[in-house]
């Protein structure tokens, strides 16, 4: 009994650690996506919780009569611009110069309890839309930036992911039923061929397919990606659905045949409703694979801004805005929203679909 309890504690502890390792960065990503540009560059996302830190209590803007190339005196402390830029502590206060020598100011700070509770949705507005935005920098100056138009990429990804999930599921369901319940010459050989296709890397097929697409004139269109993902996803879909459908109760099938039901009637009225867990399981796999795909989309769609998917757009944002973490986190979380919704929405079918065919009797 003690051994079982200890094993249970160890397993649950390991699972809790794994969940924590996944949840904490995701939560940090979410928090950072709602923080202001200046806050996210100065402090970590964990500062939203109460902690002790230097808090600004006064901002001193020296007048034109102050020569900033010489030592300056504030709050009884005399120091040069370089020394104030590093920060000087005196009598429980810290004097720190913010910005450059010409347009900056002296920030008087006190070490006390604080929490960063300023949140904004401007990051999401700038990432999703394509209009111009004006941002304020740390030195008080402003800069005008163009929105990243990720909303259009989001719709493009939907236009690619949904058909690329539905088409292979539909074809694979018919194929799996045929392999499981219909007898025809070469059935075992064809199924062995399907299983063999599972081990072939898709990368070796990209160049030949690209050449064919160029000859057919479909390269750079959504149709090219639909067909590619359908071909790459069919072997797994067929194998997964076959395992599930072949384990359905034979008595039900025989009774339907005796009553005069055709194969199509049995498939549509019995097999499909009973195979929902397996269908949902593959739908999760396929949708997440297509949604997060970058390589196939880059090769068959290209880098055209009008046809870019979220993965391509996010990669471009990383390249052009490598230091703008407030935009990178917002863009990353936008790409995560729909996959998370799909997974949690179909989660109850997921394990049942994965266990298809694993238990006999």
In three-state form (DSSP H/G/I as H, E/B as E, the rest C), the secondary structure along 161-227 is HHHHHHHHHHHHHHHHHHHHHCCCCCHHHHHHHHHHHCCCCCHHHHHHHHHHHHHHCCCCCHHHHHH
* Nearest alpha carbon to residue 149 among 349, 313, 350, 347: 313
218 in the same domain as 84: no
pLDDT, tens digit (0-9, with 9 covering 90-100), for 136-155:
655 555 666 666 778 888 89
Collapsed DSSP state (helix, strand, coil) of residue 23: helix
Quote the number of domains for the chain. Answer: 2
Same domain assignment for residues 160 and 104: no
Q: Are residues 106 and 214 in the same domain?
A: no
Higher pLDDT, 138 or 245: 245
Q: Are residues 175 and 300 in the same domain?
A: yes
Whose tokens are 């097929």? That residue is 205
DSSP state of 246: T
- Residue 201 and residue 102 share a domain: no
99 & 191 share domain: no
HSE toward the beta carbon, residue 359, CA cutoff 13 A: 5
| Long-range contacts at 262-270 (CB < 8 A, ≥ 24 apart) | 263/177, 263/181, 263/182, 266/181, 267/173, 267/174, 267/177
Task: Supply the pTM of this predicted model.
Answer: 0.74
Q: CB atoms < 10 A from the CB of 197, how many?
A: 15
Judge whether 288 and 343 are in contact, CB under 8 Å.
Answer: yes
Q: Which residues pair with 112 in a beta bridge?
A: 53
Looking at residue 282, which CATH number applies to its domain?
1.10.3720.10
Q: Is residue 356 pLDDT above 60, yes or no?
A: no
Q: What is the pLDDT of residues 104-115, one digit of tens each?
A: 888 888 888 888
User: Both 97 and 220 in a single domain?
Assistant: no
What domain range includes position 234?
A: 150-354
d(CA 338, CA 269): 31
3-state secondary structure of 36: coil
pLDDT value of position 204: 85
Are 81 and 157 found together in one domain?
no
Indicate whether 181 belongs to any domain: yes
Indicate if the pLDDT at residue 361 is higher than 50.
no
Q: Is 39 part of any domain?
A: no
Residues 55 and 158 in one domain: no
- Residue after which a domain boundary falls, among 90, 114, 138: 114
Contact predicate 280/346, CB 8 Å: yes
The whole-angstrom separation of Cα 292 and Cα 295 is 10
Average pLDDT over residues 235-263: 85
Q: Is residue 270 part of a domain?
A: yes
Rounded Cα–Cα distance for residues 65 and 228 (Å) = 70
159 has pLDDT over 80? yes
Quick one: pLDDT band at residue 83, thresholds 50, 70, 90?
confident
Domain assignment of residue 360, yes or no:
no
Domain match, 172 and 272 both: yes
C-alpha pair distances (Å), 307 with each of 41, 161, 212, 248: 32, 13, 20, 43
At residue 196 the predicted structure's pLDDT band, cuts being 50, 70 and 90, is confident
Q: Would you say residue 293 lies in a domain?
A: yes
Q: Please indicate, yes or no, whether residues 103 and 156 belong to a single structural domain of this protein.
A: no
For residues 109 and 161, state if they share a domain: no
């Amino acid at each position: 009994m003690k051994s079982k309890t200890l094993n249970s504690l160890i397993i649950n502890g390991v699972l809790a650690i794994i969940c924590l390792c996944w949840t904490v960065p995701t939560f940090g990503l979410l928090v950072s996506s709602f923080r202001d540009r200046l806050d996210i560059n100065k402090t970590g996302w964990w500062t939203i919780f109460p902690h002790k830190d230097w808090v600004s209590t006064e901002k001193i803007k020296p007048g034109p009569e102050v020569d900033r190339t010489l030592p300056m005196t504030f709050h009884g402390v005399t120091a040069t611009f370089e020394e104030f830029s590093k920060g000087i502590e005196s009598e429980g206060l810290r004097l720190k110069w913010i910005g450059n020598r010409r347009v900056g100011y002296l920030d008087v700070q006190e070490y006390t309890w604080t929490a960063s509770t300023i949140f904004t949705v401007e990051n999401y507005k700038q990432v999703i839309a394509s209009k111009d935005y004006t941002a304020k920098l740390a030195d008080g100056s402003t800069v005008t930036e163009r929105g990243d138009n990720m909303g259009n990429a989001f719709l493009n990804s939907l236009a690619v992911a949904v058909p690329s999930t539905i088409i292979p599921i539909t074809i694979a369901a018919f194929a799996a039923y045929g392999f499981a319940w219909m007898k025809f010459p070469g059935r075992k050989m064809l199924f062995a061929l399907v299983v063999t296709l599972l081990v072939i890397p898709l990368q070796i097929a990209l160049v030949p397919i690209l050449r064919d697409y160029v000859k057919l004139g479909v390269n750079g269109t959504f149709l090219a990606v639909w067909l590619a993902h359908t071909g790459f996803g069919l072997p797994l879909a067929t194998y997964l659905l076959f395992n599930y459908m072949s384990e359905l109760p034979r008595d039900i099938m025989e009774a339907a045949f005796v009553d005069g039901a055709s194969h199509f009637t049995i498939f549509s009225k019995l097999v499909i409703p009973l195979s929902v867990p397996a269908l949902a399981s593959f739908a999760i796999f396929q949708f997440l694979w297509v949604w997060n795909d970058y390589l196939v989309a880059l090769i068959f769609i290209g880098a055209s801004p009008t046809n870019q998917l979220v993965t391509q757009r996010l990669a471009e944002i990383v390249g052009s805005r490598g230091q703008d973490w407030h935009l990178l986190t917002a863009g990353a979380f936008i790409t995560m929203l729909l996959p998370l919704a799909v997974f949690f929405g179909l989660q109850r079918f997921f394990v049942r679909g994965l266990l298809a065919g694993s238990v006999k009797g």
